[in-house]
């Protein structure tokens, strides 16, 4: 039996009777009509790994979603209904993500899902969301080269993280040699493909680029770090661009320290190391190294201060940190709430059509706008790791950067455009003026 709230009972059963008797005003009548097709409670799926190698990063996003749901219910819910979280654990198992996504959509009948972290997990669930017409908010930086009608990408595309980070190292630090280290899956490989082409376009020689991939959970970094050290000893300033994901980062940074490689010698800029990954570990080996994100906990704004206070109150732990994917979850949740309110329904097609053009405040003092390509506008920050596990911002963009679904630095992607408003297409070829293929087919091809 559904957990009907008192507000819901009034809206769904008593209100129509009063309307018939002329007992309610026009504003209440409009609310009742708008909510007539909404079934309470509104179910919100949470699809994050709570066990396995990615739990270090993803479990916090589960807690973030639950906090936002609780806060929304305290405001009176949505369209007269309570929000009910439905949490599943895909356990860092990529095929299991698809199974759990199908469970949420087909069995639990959720209205929206917040979840996944790695690109391989997102690509695993993408065909399921397209087949069953679900709505997924994806909150993590990724490689781009994708735009699905059923996914809203609130994390950074490469032009909102990877490219600005390389520009900073090249123009502000004077880096000339590049080590691209990544975990062996979709996001690092595609991001590094974009970065290799971008570096070559900037005049960097092949001999000044080193690329290496390691499995998830890799722990023996001695030989790889030795190669990095040798590569950086050729007389040219050298940096590591890291797309190493999950708990493999801890032994990597420790090995840098073991081989006496400091940030002054070979700085590392990471795209997957944030406050959560630094929490509870010895940060001495990481001091001075860098990370590129669109949010840091250390950024001083009233909105961020309130968010941190709410987080500490919700968790009951003043030591719990915030991070970039948490802000992306916050932005995505608020965009969905705003779209549902504007549409007057949780119907997926209607909400998807309502989302583009909506704006919500971010936590760093600006505004996030959902673009027709289902990406958002974001500022970019470069932060230096400090001894308290936080980041000191050393560089930032002047304004929010629109997210690109398709990279301008890959020949096959440069001609593609994503537009779910006018073109109703996520992969429109501007040369042939045709929309080709389904995103699920393209995802399978990339894997």
Q: Based on the domain organization, do 51 and 122 belong to the same domain?
A: yes
Q: Based on the domain organization, do 266 and 362 belong to the same domain?
A: no
Q: What is the pTM of this model?
A: 0.87
pLDDT score, position 2 = 34
Residues whose CB falls within 8 Å of the CB of residue 281, separated by 6 or more in sequence, listed in order: 250, 389
Give the residue from 161, 159, 142, 154 showing the smallest Cα distance to 381. 161
pLDDT score, position 198 = 97
Query: Would you give the DSSP letter of residue 376?
Result: B
Spatial distance between the Cα atoms of 252 and 322, rounded to a whole number of angstroms: 23
Residues whose CB falls within 8 Å of the CB of residue 222, separated by 6 or more in sequence, listed in order: 255, 258, 259
Q: Based on the domain organization, do 239 and 312 belong to the same domain?
A: no
Q: Is residue 110 part of a domain?
A: yes
* Residues paired with 361 in a beta bridge: 367
Q: Is residue 443 part of a domain?
A: no
- In 90-150, the DSSP E strands lie at 112-115, 136-138
Q: Based on the domain organization, do 294 and 347 belong to the same domain?
A: no
Asked if 418 contacts 425 with a C-beta cutoff of 8 angstroms, the reply is yes
Spatial distance between the Cα atoms of 328 and 20, rounded to a whole number of angstroms: 44
Provide the number of structural domains found in the chain.
2
Domain coverage including residue 172: 159-300+382-402
Q: Which residues of 168-178 are buried (b: 16+ CB within 10 A; e: fewer)?
A: bbbeebebbbb
Q: Based on the domain organization, do 64 and 142 belong to the same domain?
A: yes
Looking at residue 374, which CATH number applies to its domain? Answer: 3.40.50.2300
Q: Based on the domain organization, do 169 and 250 belong to the same domain?
A: yes
Q: Based on the domain organization, do 141 and 176 belong to the same domain?
A: no
Q: Is residue 147 part of a domain?
A: yes
Q: Based on the domain organization, do 180 and 290 belong to the same domain?
A: yes
Mean pLDDT, each 10-residue run in order, the chain (447 residues): 33 33 34 61 98 90 98 98 98 96 98 95 97 98 95 97 97 97 94 97 97 94 97 96 89 93 95 86 88 97 98 96 97 98 98 98 98 98 94 96 96 95 96 74 40
pLDDT score, position 23 = 36
Q: Based on the domain organization, do 237 and 195 belong to the same domain?
A: yes
pLDDT score, position 38 = 86
Q: Is residue 63 part of a domain?
A: yes
Tell me: cis bond preceding 113? Omega within 30 of 0 counts: no
Q: Based on the domain organization, do 387 and 305 belong to the same domain?
A: no
Q: Please, what is the end-to-end C-alpha distance for the chain in angstroms?
A: 42
Residues whose CB falls within 8 Å of the CB of residue 133, separated by 6 or more in sequence, listed in order: 150, 348, 349
Q: Scanning the structure block, which residue is given the tokens 């980070």?
A: 165
Q: Is residue 247 part of a domain?
A: yes
Q: Based on the domain organization, do 26 and 107 belong to the same domain?
A: yes
Q: Is residue 238 part of a domain?
A: yes
pLDDT score, position 437 = 58
Q: Is residue 437 part of a domain?
A: no
pLDDT score, position 243 = 95
Sheet (strand 290-293) strand order: 209-214, 177-183, 238-243, 268-270, 290-293, 381-385, 391-396
CA distances (Å), origin 9, targets 4, 13, 113, 149, 345: 7, 6, 26, 34, 17
Q: Is residue 33 part of a domain?
A: yes
Residues whose CB falls within 8 Å of the CB of residue 146, separated by 6 or more in sequence, listed in order: 126, 153, 405, 426, 439, 442, 443
């Amino acid at each position: 039996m559904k957990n009907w709230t008192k507000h819901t009972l009034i809206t769904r059963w008593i209100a129509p009777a009063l309307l018939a008797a002329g007992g309610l005003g026009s504003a209440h009548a409009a609310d009742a009509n708008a909510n007539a097709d909404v079934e309470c409670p509104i179910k919100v799926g949470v699809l994050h790994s709570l066990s396995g190698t990615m739990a270090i990063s993803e479990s916090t996003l589960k807690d973030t979603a639950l906090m936002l749901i609780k806060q929304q219910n305290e405001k009176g819910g949505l369209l007269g209904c309570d929000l009910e979280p439905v949490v599943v654990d895909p356990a860092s198992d990529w095929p299991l993500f698809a199974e759990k996504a199908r469970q949420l959509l087909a069995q639990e009948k959720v209205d929206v899902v917040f979840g996944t972290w790695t690109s391989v997990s997102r690509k695993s669930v993408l065909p399921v969301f397209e087949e069953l017409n679900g709505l997924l908010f994806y909150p993590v930086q990724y490689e781009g080269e994708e735009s699905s009608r059923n996914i809203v990408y609130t994390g950074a595309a490469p032009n909102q993280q990877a490219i600005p980070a390389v520009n900073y190292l090249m123009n502000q630090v004077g880096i000339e040699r590049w080590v691209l280290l990544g975990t062996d899956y979709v996001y690092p490989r595609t991001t590094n493909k974009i970065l290799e082409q971008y570096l070559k376009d900037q005049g960097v020689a092949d001999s000044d680029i080193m690329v290496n991939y390691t499995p998830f959970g890799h722990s023996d970094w001695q030989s790889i770090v030795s190669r990095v050290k040798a590569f950086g000893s050729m007389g040219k300033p050298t940096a590591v661009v890291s797309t190493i994901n999950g708990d493999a980062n801890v032994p990597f940074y420790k090995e840098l320290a073991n081989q006496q490689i400091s940030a002054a010698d070979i700085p590392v800029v990471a795209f997957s190391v944030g406050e959560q990954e630094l929490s509870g570990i010895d940060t001495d080996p990481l001091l001075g190294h860098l990370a590129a994100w669109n949010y840091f906990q250390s950024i001083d704004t009233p909105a961020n201060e309130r968010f941190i206070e709410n987080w500490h109150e919700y968790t009951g732990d003043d030591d719990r940190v915030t991070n970039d994917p948490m802000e992306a979850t916050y932005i995505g949740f608020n965009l969905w709430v705003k779209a549902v309110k504007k549409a007057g329904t949780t119907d997926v097609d209607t909400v998807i059509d309502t989302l583009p053009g909506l704006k919500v405040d971010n936590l760093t003092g600006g505004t996030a706008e959902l673009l027709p390509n289902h990406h958002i506008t974001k500022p970019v920050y470069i932060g230096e790791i400090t001894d308290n596990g936080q980041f000191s911002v050393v560089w930032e963009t002047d304004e929010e950067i629109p997210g690109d679904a398709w990279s301008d630095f890959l020949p096959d992607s440069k001609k593609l455009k994503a537009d779910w408003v006018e073109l109703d297409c996520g992969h429109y070829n501007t040369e042939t003026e045709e929309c080709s293929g389904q995103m699920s087919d393209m995802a399978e091809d990339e894997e």
